[in-house]
Amino acid sequence: MIYNNDQEICDDYGFRFLDQVETPAVQLFAVGKQSRNTNQYYWNNKDRYPSFLFQYTLNGSGTLNVNNKTHIIKKGQAFFLQIPGDECYYFDDKINDAPWEFIYILLDGVSVLPYYKYVVNHLGKMMELAPFHPAIKLLFDIYNRAKKGLLQNAFAADSEVFRFLCLLCNSGFNTDHQSSLIENAKAYIDNNFSKPITLAETAEYLKISQSHLSREFVKHTGEQPIHYLTKIRLERATQMLISTNIRLNEISRLCGFSDSNYFSKVFKKYIKISPGEFRKQTRTQGYINVQV
């Protein structure tokens, strides 16, 4: 439903389907676009109904307060919040650019929390995403379908919500859109993962600051540079565990880990089993390659 008071526009669509399973894994509560330019727009998440909110700025800016720190949310930036929570977000005509235009989705379900935690762990509660990011494109599609009345049942709506969560977690898109900076950063990591390289060394090689490298890398790939480095090291380690008889301490060294204990700790964190057990299982089951 579109609401317009000559100053602010709210084009919001809520969903409460009668034909729904008892405890859905994910469910769509609401989706919409709004344009805000007065201080009357203020949300405190402390006592709100349980849900998860993703809100992406299209134009102007708004304010988000997290852990008593104030952040200006500008065009191309988003926040992802679990409600209830200690955050509040609002428009402040003294510090924000009017109008604050944004698109949002409100969702819930028994399976949303792990995806939310994954996104926050990799991108943070605040993130910068290009408008052609697959998750943002799908968010617009969900909004447009809601506007046209095309989300007729819970299963159609909720399947789109699940796709949105997965795209947000994946946060990748066609490499044609990736900047030369990111390609050069990836190439440096790919060629030097066996060495004890750091984010600072990578940034120095590219002649940019660490903060700029991290910001651009997340914007274009959806993950931090250090996470990409860890993934490359683990992919190489799994290949060596499957196809060679090299000892674990040597694999650790060849893949850039500081020592075999740290290698085993990181390996178990992401692969869920120890390197030795992984080698046994893959050989027993006949794997020739494992994607990390």
- Condensed to tens digits (0 to 9), the pLDDT of residues 258-273 reads 899 999 999 999 999 9
Q: Which CATH architecture best describes the domain 2-170?
A: Sandwich (2.60)
pLDDT at 228: 93
Measured distance CA(123)–CA(128) in Å, rounded? 9
Rounded (5°) CA angle 101-109-124: 50
Measured in degrees and rounded to the nearest 5, phi and psi for residue 129 equal: -130, 135
**Lowest mean pLDDT, pick from 15-24, 176-185, 213-222:** 176-185
User: Over the chain, what is the mean pLDDT?
Assistant: 90
pLDDT confidence of residue 13: 93
**What are the pLDDT digits (tens) for 169-178?**
887 444 444 5
- How would you classify residue 165: left for phi > 0, otherwise alpha for psi between -120 and 50, otherwise beta? alpha
* pLDDT tens digit sequence for 108-134: 999 999 999 999 988 889 999 988 888
- Select from 53, 7, 60, 62 the least CA-distant residue to 31: 53
Residue 287 has a pLDDT of 58
Range(s) within the chain of domains with CATH label 2.60.120.280: 2-170
* DSSP helix/strand/coil, 211: helix
Chain centre to alpha carbon of residue 37: 28
pLDDT: which is higher, 174 or 77: 77
> Residue 94 to residues 34, 37, 99, 215, 261: CA-CA distances in angstroms?
20, 11, 12, 27, 53
Residue 177's pLDDT is: 45
Three-state secondary-structure class, residue 82: strand
Region of poorest pLDDT, from 37-46, 93-102, 214-223: 214-223
Residue 222: is its pLDDT beyond 80? no
Distance CA 214, CA 41 (A): 32
- Report the pLDDT value the prediction gives residue 146, as an integer from 0 to 100: 92
Residue-level pLDDT at 292: 66
CATH 1.10.10.60 residue ranges for the chain = 180-285
Q: What pLDDT shows up at residue 172?
A: 47
Please list, in sequence order, all residues whose beta carbon lies within 8 angstroms of the beta carbon of residue 172, skipping any fewer than 6 positions away. 134, 221, 222
Looking at residue 132, its pLDDT comes to: 86
The topology under which CATH files domain 180-285 is Arc Repressor Mutant, subunit A (1.10.10)
